[in-house]
Amino acid sequence: MSALPNTSTSASAPVVASRSKIVMMAIIAGAVITNIYSTQPILPLIGAELKVDLTTVDLVAGAALLGFSTGLAFLLPLGDRFDRRKLVLAQIALAFCFAVAAALAPSIWPLIIASFGLGVVSCVPQQLVPFAAVMSLPSERGRSVGTVVSGIMVGILLGRTISGVVGTAYGWRAVYGLAAIFMIPVWIAAAALLPRGLPSTNLSYGRLLASLWPLARDNAPIRQSMIVQALLWACFNAFWVNLAALLADGPLHLSSAWAGGFGIIGAAGALAASLGGRATDRMGPRTVIAASIGFVMLAYVLLAGAESSLTFLVIGVVVLDIGVQSGLVSNQTRAFAVDPKAQGRINSLYMTATFLGGAIGVMISGWLMTRFGWTGIVIFGIALGIVASVVHWIGGAPRAELKSN
């Protein structure tokens, strides 16, 4: 692992955030991330109104994830150079604008474009994760990151629940309208409660972006975390983006409200992010990462019976969320340990890879669902888990890294 230059512009030690401040960051992060995932339960409603097939309507969800990846790549590094608080407030304001545009979209392609823009500016949660890491003692870093990630995951899952209910009752446009309205109190809360971010580098924006490649090239823990979590996130989104179609078109014949309702079930597994953070602090991230991959593969084995059994579907949802969320925290903590002064850029690399994997998973799984049905999704998820296992173990770190990274 190569040493990175010290580019800090401040000689003062970072302020350690109180537990209540970390929790507030988690709440704000969860609120903003709903902009990305509330689309998924209402995809059948969008397709029916705009008269497009499943493969095309899945592009709305895919565009949001692709936009999120773009924001992570091009906006997240700015957190090392500028005040993250100002970046967060600007992005929340733009999220309001894009949500309004989505609600008013006259056809599928304007909706896809608005969804992409909403995704770009909704990378706010990943501006907050480095806040939590930098403003925590090393012994509590995993716990703090886990708390914010738990907030993100609860937002993802409960956002789906609210979306499904609102979409069924009032139509899919109301979901985007509600998202826009919700950004107003979120902006006010962020303005009142977020601390001012201190830049850790004086590099120009161009040099910040240019520094991403050597950062990934020279640090194996970052590369391995990026690849493994991208595969796990593809598994996660391949399931959730096709759940509404499975319930509506399969033998169960359940509505979008039911698809959203599974977010409540999945939210129980969201606590795994916080527990995974604590386990990472105690056992080291590689042990937790291996367990996470195993949980994801087990989940897809259970989900093979989801077409005809609500029991298998419910258990599979919980196990999948436990695996993916624990992996998210442990991989992220491992990557952050490389250089505390490059948290924004490390998070940019890590989360860009993660959500790019999710976007690709959405697009491929939409085609698989159309062509091969639910069986294609299950095989896809298990195959991705196998690849993640191979990457994790072949890319094994030296023994010294097992606890430190």
pLDDT, tens digit, 9 for 90 and up, residues 327-337: 888 898 888 88
User: 356 and 69 in contact (C-beta within 8 Å)?
Assistant: yes
**237 CB-near residues (< 8 Å, 6+ apart):** 61, 65, 358, 359, 361, 362, 365
Looking at residue 254, its pLDDT comes to: 65
Residue 399 confidence (pLDDT): 43
Give me the pLDDT at residue 16, please: 67
Mean pLDDT for the stretch of residues 266-289:
72
The pLDDT, as a whole number, for residue 160 is 79
Please give the single-letter amino acid code of residue 342.
A
- Cα separation of 303 and 297, whole Å? 10
**pLDDT score recorded for residue 121:** 95
Q: How many CB atoms lie within 10 A of CB 202?
A: 11
Classify residue 296 as exposed, middle or buried by CB count within 10 Å of its CB (0-12, 13-18, 19+): buried
Of 34, 46, 36, which Cα lies nearest the Cα of 173?
Answer: 46
**Residues 154 and 264 sit within 8 Å (Cβ to Cβ):** no
Average pLDDT on 350-355 reads 86
What does the DSSP 8-state code read for residue 5? P
**pLDDT at position 402, please?**
41
Average pLDDT over residues 133-144: 72
Pairwise CA distance, residues 382 & 296, whole Å: 8
Residue with tokens 């169960």: 252
**8 Å CB contact between 80 and 200:** yes
List the chain domain ranges. 19-199+213-404
Region 377-402 average pLDDT = 80
Average of per-residue pLDDT across 31-56: 88
∠101-104-105 over CA atoms, to 5°? 80
> Distance between CA atoms of 21 and 31, rounded to whole angstroms?
15
| Rounded distance between C-alpha atoms, residue 331 and residue 31, angstroms | 23
Long-range CB contacts (within 8 A, 24+) of 14-18: 14/134, 14/135, 14/198, 15/135, 15/195, 16/135, 16/136, 16/137, 17/131, 17/132, 17/135, 17/136, 17/144, 17/195
Return the sign of the alpha-carbon dihedral for residues 346, 218, 222, 65: positive
Phi first, then psi, for residue 119 (nearest 5°) are -65, -40
Mean per-residue pLDDT, 18-37: 86
Which of helix, strand or coil describes residue 146? helix
Residue 260: the pLDDT is: 61
Contact 336, 145 (CB under 8 A): yes
Confidence category of residue 44, pLDDT binned at 50, 70, 90: confident
Cα–Cα dist 331/222, whole Å:
8
pLDDT(3) > 50? no
SS3 339: coil
C-alpha–C-alpha distance, residues 296 and 324, integer Å: 7
Q: Which CATH number fits domain 19-199+213-404: 3.90.1300.10, 1.20.1250.20, 3.40.50.300, 3.40.50.2300?
A: 1.20.1250.20
Q: What is the pLDDT of residue 380?
A: 96
Residue-level pLDDT at 318: 86
Prediction pTM value: 0.70
Tokens standing for residue 257: 């409200």
pLDDT band at 94 (very low <50, low <70, confident <90, very high): very high
CB 313 within 8 A of CB 239: no
What residue spans of 196-284 are helical by DSSP H?
205-210, 212-217, 220-249, 256-283
Biggest CA pair distance of the chain: 63
What is the model's pLDDT at position 229?
94
